[in-house]
Chains A and B, each alone.
Chain A
């Protein structure tokens, strides 16, 4: 595997389900990000992790719960979602979060549909 991978690629869930999205980066980076991309809207940053520590929580509802067990893996746990949460969820990684410009590289995304 190379770059940033995400599973599953597609997910359909009911509002009462609990599911998790997984991201893994194979770039040796120290920072990982979750973004939400909805139609006609800019990418929205949700969470930022640096060396497994959460450094940004962009006013995201508690029904989204991130987890970063190590610098290569990032999860997004989902529970009691709403139909408006249907979107493309993108994971990204960068070398670091500080100390200069750190380019972000995206995974393929998980297309989530909430029924």
Chain B
């Protein structure tokens, strides 16, 4: 059973701090990972993709992938109240159907 695990939170951080969101996965066959942001009542929005070990930075966001330890993380620097949302981690398992396995998401609350 392929699984992606996330702490449901809420993770509460003060405005301007670094928010660290973590995700672990069970299947070493997963090739790549995606982070989606989902505001309450809205649909998921892709914010980061990471395909290889190491760090990938995009603006205030840094995704980190460690395949040996089977974890993925998302760091949000200078957190803003507008970053308050649920962050979904998804693992890509390739194959013929481009299947993603999603975690349940971590709720982030940035306190002004």
Contact = CB atoms under 8 A, between A and B. Distances in A.
B92 A101 contact: yes
Interface residues of B, number: 26
A112 to B, nearest CB: 14
Nearest to B3: A42
B78 interface: no
A106 B44 contact: yes
Interface string B13-37: 0000000000000000001101010
A55 B97 contact: yes
- Interface footprint category on A: 20 to 34
Contacts, number: 59
Given A45-B99, A98-B96, A103 B43 contact: no
Interface string A32-57: 00000000111101001010000110
Nearest first, the 9 A-B pairs at minimum CB distance are A97-B98, A43-B102, A56-B97, A42-B102, A106-B43, A109-B43, A48-B97, A102-B98, A106-B44
26 contacts: A31-B98, A40-B104, A41-B104, A42-B4, A42-B101, A43-B44, A43-B88, A48-B99, A55-B96, A56-B97, A56-B99, A97-B98, A98-B96, A101-B32, A101-B51, A101-B92, A102-B98, A103-B34, A103-B46, A103-B49, A104-B46, A105-B46, A106-B36, A106-B43, A106-B44, A108-B43
